[in-house]
Structure 1
Amino acid sequence: MYAKLAINNAKRSIKDYLIYIVTLTICVSLFYGFSSLSSSNYTLVTEDMFNFDILKEMLKYSTYGVTALLVLLVGYVNKYMMKRRQKEFATYILLGTEQRSVALMFFVETLIIGVISIVAGILIGTLFSQVVTALILMTAGQEIIFSFKIYTDTILITFAFFITIFCIIGFFNIGYLNKIKLINMLNSEKKTEFQFKRSKVVYITVFLMSIASYSTCGVYAYKILYSSGKDVILAEQKMMFALIALVAFIVGTYALFYSASYIAIVIKNKWTGFKYEYTNLFLIGAIVSKIKTVPILMATISLTLLGSALCFTITLLMSQWSLGYLEYRIPFDVNISNQNISITDINDMPNINYDEIVEYMDINNHPLKNYCQVETYFIEEKDFYIKDKIKMPILAIGLSDFNTLRKTLGYEEVTLKENEFTMQWDKKVDESEIKEYINNNSIINVNGEEFKVSSNSHYIDSLGENIYNFWTDTLIVLPDEVCEELMIASTQFYGNIKAKMNYEEALKIEEFASTWFREKHIDLYNKYEESEEENYSFTDPAKIRMKVAETSVVITMSLFMRILGIYLGAVLLMISLTVLALQQLSDSIDHKQRFKTLKKLGIEKKEINKLILKQIGCYFVIPIFIAIIGLLIFLYNYSVIFREQINLYIGNSAFILNMIIGISLIIIIYSCYFMATYYTFKRNIE
C-alpha cells in the first residue's frame, strides 16, 4: 500500500520536480558521456602518435569528484520538498500512518524520481559521449568517426554512483523525518533561514563592511596590475594580493546580501512615487521578503555563479594557451637541453658530445633529417658562480650555431660586422623592455674587447625555451672566434626526424637518452645528486623532450582542462539556477492567494504576467550581476597581467572567441532556466 502511495505521489509531484529532473538528467548524461571514455569496451581510433590513456583516467576520477557536488543539489531539493510537504506528512500521521513509514515513503518517492532521471540521462549521454569523442579527435587532428554504442559497465557505474547519492541523502531524510515533532511539521512554513540579530545599526554596519570589502578588493586588484619589482618577488606578491582580493570579494558579497533588504526598504520609503505606482508595492515587497529570508543562500549562489563563469572562460583559455605554448616550447622533434646550474665546482663542467644519440636513432630506423649541437657560453668565467635567481647571467651563443638553429626552423640567417653583436630574445618579453635593455647596453666588453650592437639589434623568432639560461630570457650573439675563447655554459642538441614516430617509440628514445647521459657522466650524478650541502637543490643537467611525446601530453592536458571546465561550469551553473528556480516556484505555490487577490482587485492577466516577469527577473539578475562584476575584474586583471602570453600563445582573436564561447554557454543555460521558471510560475498560480 505504501509503495503504491509513493508511486502515486511521485506521479503527482512531477511538475514540482520538473526542473530538478531536467537538471539531474543533464548531469547524468554528462557523467555517462565522460565516464564512457574509461569503459573497457570503449575504443578511440587515433594514430599511434597519441596516447589518451592518461586522459581517460583523469576524466574518470575528476568526473566522480565534480558529480559528487550534486549531493548538495539533491540534498537541497529533498529539504525543499520536505518543507513543502510536511503538512501533508503530518496529515498522514494524524490518519494513523507510522512516522517511519511516512519517511520511507518519501525516500521511495525521491528514489523513483532519481531513477527516471538516470534512465533519461543515460539515453542522452549516449549521444553526448559521441560529442566528447568528436572533440578529442578534432583536437588531435584526426578523422571524426561516430560509433553509437551502449557501454554496460558505464551504465552500472552510473546507476551505482547516483543511487549511492540518493541513498545517502535518503537515509539522512529518514532520520530527520523520524525525529521531527508533529507540531513542527504543521508549523514548518513559518520557519525561515537562520538570521542574525537585526537592527538599523547592524544593517548599516554590515553595509559599510561590504563597501569596505569591495574597496579592498579593488585596491588589491589595482596593486596586482601596477606593482613593480623583480619578477620572482612580484609573483609572490601578486599571489598574496590575489588571495586578499578574493577573500575581500567573498566577505563583501555576503555582507551586501545581508544588508540588501534594509537598503531596499530605505529606497522604497524614499521613493514613494515609485513605491505606489501600480503593482510596484507588491513587487518590492516580494523581493525584499525573499532577500530578507535567504541572504546567505543568495550570496552563495552569486559566488557559485562566479565560479561557474570562471570555469567556462578560464579553462577554455588555458586549454588554448597550452596548445599555443607547445609550438613555442618545443620547435624541434628532438630537444636535449643541458643546464649545469647544480654544478658548484668549475672543474666538474661536463664535455658533452651527442653523436651516440644520432647513431642510436639511425640504428632504430628513426634517422634525423637535420640536427645541430649548440654551445652557449659564459661572458665571464665568474658568471659560473652566480646561482641567484635574480642575478642569473645572460649567456652568449656563436653566430654559426645561431644561424644553424634559425635555418633549421626556416628563418633567415643573420650577419654581423666586425666587433658587432646582436641579441636573441624570448617572444614573451615586452618590446619596450627589450629596447630599454639594448639602449642601456649598446656596447659590451668581452675579454677586454668592445662590441657594439648591430643595426639589427635583436630577434624574437622562437628557438624554444631551453636555449636560455635559467631565469633569463635572452642570449647575446657573438662571432664564433670570440666564443671559442669563452667558457662553455651548456651544450644543447636539436634535431628533426625524417619520418613520423609513434608515442611509444618517442618514450623509448627519451629513456635511452636519459640513461646514456647518466652513464656518460655518472661521476657528476654521484657527486651532486646525493649532496647534503645546506640550501642545495639538485637539478638534472639533462632534459630530454621528444615533440611527439610532448604533443600527446599537451593535447591530453588541453582536452582535460576544456572538458572538465565545461562540465564543472555546467554543474555549478545548473545547481545555482535550480535552487533559484525552486525558490521562485515555492513562492508561486505559497503566495498563490496573493495573485488571486490581485485578480480580484482588477489587475489584468497581462499585467500580472509582467509582474511575475519582473519578480523572477530581479531574483535571477541580482546574483548574476554580482558574479559578472567579479568576472570582469578577474578577466581584466588576467588580460593585463598575461598580455604578452595571450598575444604569443592564444592571440587576441582566439582570446575573444573563447570569451564569447564561454559567455554564450552561460547565457543559453541561464535563459533556458529563466524561461522554464517563468512559465512554470505562471502555470502554478493559475
Structure 2
Amino acid sequence: MFARLAIGNAKRSIKDYLIYFITITLCVSFFYAFTSLSSSSYKFITEGSYNFEMLQNILKYSTYGITALLIILIGYVNQYMMRRRQREFATYILLGTEQKSVAFMFFIETLLIGIVSIILGIFIGTLFSQVVTALVLLTAKQEIVFSFRLYMDTVVITFLFFIAMFCIIGIFNIRVLNKKKLIDMLHADKKTEFQFKRSSKVYIITFMTSVMMYGVCGYCTYKLISIINHSGMIEISDRVYIPFALISFIIGTYALFYSLAYIIIFIKNRWLHFKYEYTNLFLIGSIVSKIKTAPILMATIAITFLGASLSFTLTLILSQWSLGYLDYRAPYDISISNEYAIASNIKDIPKIDYNDLTEYLHKEGYNIDEYRQVEKYFLQDEDFYQREKSSMPILAIGLSDFNKLRDMLGYDKVDLGENEFTMQWAKMASEAELKRYIKEHSTLKINGQHFTISSEPYFKESIGEGVYNYFTDALIVLPDAICKELTIASTDFLANTTKEISYEKASYFEKQIVPKWFELKHNDLLSKYDEELKSGERFYPIHTNMKVVEVSEILNATLAMRILGIYLGTVLLMISLTVLALQQLADSIEHKARFKTLTKLGIDHKEISKIILKQISIYFVLPISIAIIGYVLFISNYIQLYRQEINSYIGDQAFRLNVGISILLILGIYVVYFIATYYTFKRNVKDGFKR
C-alpha cells in the first residue's frame, strides 16, 4: 500500500514541480556530458600535437564540486514540498499510519522523482556530450566527429553521485518529519516561510542602511576609476576598494529586501489613486505578501543571479584572453632562454653555444626551418647587481639579431644609423608609459659613446615574451658594433619548424633533452650554483618553451574555463530561477481561491491572465534588476582595471562579442523559465476554477 501511495504521490509531485524536475534532469545531463569526457572508454579524435589529459582531469573533479551546489536546490525544494504537505502527512497519522512510515514514504517519493530524472538526464547527456566534444574539436581546429554511445563507468558515477545527494537530503527529511508535532503539521499552512515583525522605525533604518551601503559601493567604484584614470594603474593598497565594494553591495541587497515590503506598503498607502485602480490592490497585495515572507531568499536569489552572470561573462573573457596571450607568449615553435639572476658573480653567467643542440634537432627530424642564437647585453656591468623588481635593467639586443627575429615572424627590416638606437616594447606596455620613458631616455651614453633615439623610436609587434628581462617590458636595439663591447646577460635560441611536432616529442625535448644537454656542457657551473643555493635540488638556469606544448596547455585551460564557466553559470541560474518559479507556482496552488473570487467579482479570464503576467514579471524582475546593477558595476570596474590587457590580448570587438554571448545565454535561460512559470501558473489557476 505504501509503495502504491508513494508512486502516486511521486507522479503528482512531478506535475506540481515540473520545473524542478526539468532542472534536475538538465543538471544530470550536464554532469554526465562533462564527466563522460574523462571516461576510460572516451577518446579524443585529434592530432598528436594536442594532449587533452589535463582538460579531462579538470572536468572530472571540478564537475563534482559545481554539481554539489545542487544539494542546496534539492534541499530547498524538499523542505518546501514537506512544508506544503504537512496537513496531508498529519491526515495519514490521524488515520493510523506511524509517523516514521509517513517520513519514509516521503523519502521514497522524492527518491523516485530523483531516479526518473537521473535516467532521463543520462540519455539527454549523451547528446550534450557531443556538443562538448564538438566545442573541444572546434577550438583545436580538428574535424568534428560524432559518436553517440553510453559510457558505463560514467553512468555508474552519475547514478551514484546523484543518488547520494538525494539520500543525504532524504535522511535529513526523515529525521525532521519524525520530530514534527502533529499540531504543528495541522497548522503548517498558516505559517509564513520567513516573517519579520518589527516597528516601522526598524524598516526605515534598514532601508536607509541599504541606501548607504549602495552609496559605499558606488563611492568605491568611483575611487577605483579615478585612480586608474589618473595614474594608469592601481596599487596593491588601493585594491582594498574592491572587497569593500563587493561586501557593501551584498549587505545593501539584503537590507533592501528586508525593508522592501514595508516601503512598497508605505508608497501604496500614499498613492491612493493607483492603489484602488481596477485590480491593483490585489496585485500589490500578492507581491508584498511574497516579498514580506521571504526577504532573505529574494536577496540570496539576486546575489546568486549576479554570481551566475559573472561566471558566464568572466570565463568567456578569460578564455579569450588566454588565446590572445598565447599568440604573444609563443610566436616561435622552439624557444630556449637562460637567466642570469641565479649567478652571484657576473663572471658566472654561462656563455651558451646552441650548435650541438641545433645538430641534435636536425638529426632527430624536428624539421628546423629558421633559427637564431640571440644574445642580450647589459648597458653597463653595474646593471647585473640590480635585483629589485622595480629596478630590473632593460637589456640591449643587436640590430642583426633583432632583424632576424622580425624576419622569422614576417615583419619588415629595421634600419639604424651609426649612433642611433630604437626600442622594442611589449604589447602590454601602455602608450603613456612608453612615451614617458622615451622622452626621459632619448639619448644614451654607452662606453663613452652617445646614442640618440631613431626616427622610428619604438616597435610593438610581438616577438615573444621570453626576450625581455624579468619585470621589464622593453628591449633597447643597438648597432652590432657597440654590442660587441658589452657584457652578455643571456643567450636565447629561437627556431621555427616546417612541420608540427607531436606533443609527446616536444614534451620530451623540453623536459629531458635540454636539461641533460645543459648539464653535460655546464656541469661545473651547475655544481657551483647548487653549492650557493644549498637547496638540495639541482637548479637549471635555462627555460625551454615548445609551442606545441604551450598551445596544448593553453587550449586545455581555455576549454576548461569556457566549459566550467558556462556550467557553473547555468547551475547557479537554474537554482535561482527554479526557486523563483516554485515560489510563484506555490502561490498559484495555495491561493487559487483568490483568483476564483476575482471571477465572481466580474473579472474575465483574459484580465486574470494579465494579472498573473504582471505578478510573475514583477517578482522575477525585482531580484534580477538588483543583480543587473551589480553586474554593470563589476564589468565597468573590470574594464577599467584591465583595459590594457583587453586591448592587447582580446580586443574591444572580441570583448564585446564575449559579453554579448554571455548576456544572450543568460537571457535565453531566463526567458525559458519565465515562460514556463507563466503557463504553469495559468494552468494551476484554471484547474482551480474547474473544482
Class of the TM-score when normalised by the shorter of the 2 chains: over 0.9
Counterpart position of 1:434? 434
CA distance in 2 between partners of 1:140 and 1:348 (Å): 43
Residues 112-162 of structure 1, C-alpha deviations (whole Å, 9 max, x = no match): 111111111111111111111111110000000111111111111111111
8 Å CA contact retained: 1:423, 1:474: yes
Describe the shift of the 1:475–1:29 C-alpha distance in structure 2 as closer, same or farther (beyond 3 A). same
1:227 Cα deviation from its structure 2 partner? 2.2
1:353 Cα deviation from its structure 2 partner? 1.4
The alignment partner of 1:38 has SS state of coil
Describe the shift of the 1:196–1:447 C-alpha distance in structure 2 as closer, same or farther (beyond 3 A). farther
The alignment partner of 1:545 has SS state of strand
The alignment partner of 2:44 has SS state of coil
CA distance in 2 between partners of 1:224 and 1:24 (Å): 41
Residues 74-102 of structure 1, C-alpha deviations (whole Å, 9 max, x = no match): 11110010011000000000000000110
Q: Counterparts in 2 of 1:186-335, with a 5 A limit?
A: 186-195=186-195, 198-227=198-227, 234-335=234-335
8 Å CA contact retained: 1:230, 1:390: no
Of the structure 1 ranges 342-351 and 503-512, higher mean CA displacement relative to structure 2 is found in: 342-351
Counterpart position of 2:34? 34
CA distance in 1 between partners of 2:464 and 2:77 (Å): 53
Counterpart position of 1:87? 87
Counterpart position of 1:15? 15
Residues 633-654 of structure 1, C-alpha deviations (whole Å, 9 max, x = no match): 1111222222222222222222
CA distance in 2 between partners of 1:53 and 1:662 (Å): 27
CA distance in 2 between partners of 1:670 and 1:51 (Å): 36
Describe the shift of the 1:133–1:90 C-alpha distance in structure 2 as closer, same or farther (beyond 3 A). same
Letter in 2 for 1:425: W
Counterpart position of 2:44? 44
Percent identity, please: 59
8 Å CA contact retained: 2:375, 2:491: yes
Residues 239-282 of structure 1, C-alpha deviations (whole Å, 9 max, x = no match): 43222211111111111111111221221122111111111111
Of the structure 1 ranges 285-294 and 667-676, higher mean CA displacement relative to structure 2 is found in: 285-294
Counterpart position of 1:398? 398
Letter in 2 for 1:670: Y
Residue 581 (1) aligns with residue 581 (2) = yes
Residues 501-554 of structure 1, C-alpha deviations (whole Å, 9 max, x = no match): 1000001110211332244344444444565699xx998521111000111101
Counterpart position of 2:515? 514
The alignment partner of 1:454 has SS state of strand
8 Å CA contact retained: 2:103, 2:177: yes
The alignment partner of 1:234 has SS state of coil
1:655 Cα deviation from its structure 2 partner? 1.3
Counterpart position of 1:157? 157
Letter in 1 for 2:515: S
Describe the shift of the 1:445–1:229 C-alpha distance in structure 2 as closer, same or farther (beyond 3 A). farther
Describe the shift of the 1:492–1:113 C-alpha distance in structure 2 as closer, same or farther (beyond 3 A). same
8 Å CA contact retained: 1:324, 1:650: yes
CA distance in 2 between partners of 1:516 and 1:287 (Å): 75
Residues 145-202 of structure 1, C-alpha deviations (whole Å, 9 max, x = no match): 1111111111111111111111110000111111111011111122234455522222
Describe the shift of the 1:238–1:464 C-alpha distance in structure 2 as closer, same or farther (beyond 3 A). farther
CA distance in 2 between partners of 1:343 and 1:265 (Å): 74
Q: Counterparts in 2 of 1:560-575, with a 5 A limit?
A: 560-575=560-575
CA distance in 2 between partners of 1:344 and 1:208 (Å): 62
TM-score by length of 1: 0.96
1:238 Cα deviation from its structure 2 partner? 5.0
8 Å CA contact retained: 1:407, 1:413: yes
Counterpart position of 2:505? 505
The alignment partner of 2:242 has SS state of helix
Letter in 1 for 2:306: L
Residues 335-376 of structure 1, C-alpha deviations (whole Å, 9 max, x = no match): 112222233322322211112221221221113111111111
Provide the alpha-carbon RMSD of the alignment: 2.0
CA distance in 2 between partners of 1:229 and 1:76 (Å): 46
Of the structure 1 ranges 471-480 and 359-368, higher mean CA displacement relative to structure 2 is found in: 359-368
Counterpart position of 1:629? 629
Letter in 2 for 1:516: W
CA distance in 2 between partners of 1:541 and 1:195 (Å): 66
Letter in 1 for 2:461: D
The alignment partner of 1:625 has SS state of helix
Structure 2 residue runs without a partner (length 5+): 687-691
Residue 110 (1) aligns with residue 106 (2) = no
Letter in 1 for 2:378: F
CA distance in 2 between partners of 1:491 and 1:645 (Å): 28
Of the structure 1 ranges 362-371 and 566-575, higher mean CA displacement relative to structure 2 is found in: 362-371
TM-score by length of 2: 0.96
Describe the shift of the 1:52–1:642 C-alpha distance in structure 2 as closer, same or farther (beyond 3 A). same
CA distance in 2 between partners of 1:519 and 1:69 (Å): 53
The alignment partner of 2:17 has SS state of helix
8 Å CA contact retained: 2:234, 2:641: no
CA distance in 1 between partners of 2:119 and 2:478 (Å): 70
Counterpart position of 1:425? 425
Letter in 1 for 2:573: L
1:439 Cα deviation from its structure 2 partner? 2.0
CA distance in 2 between partners of 1:424 and 1:40 (Å): 48
Of the structure 1 ranges 377-386 and 223-232, higher mean CA displacement relative to structure 2 is found in: 223-232
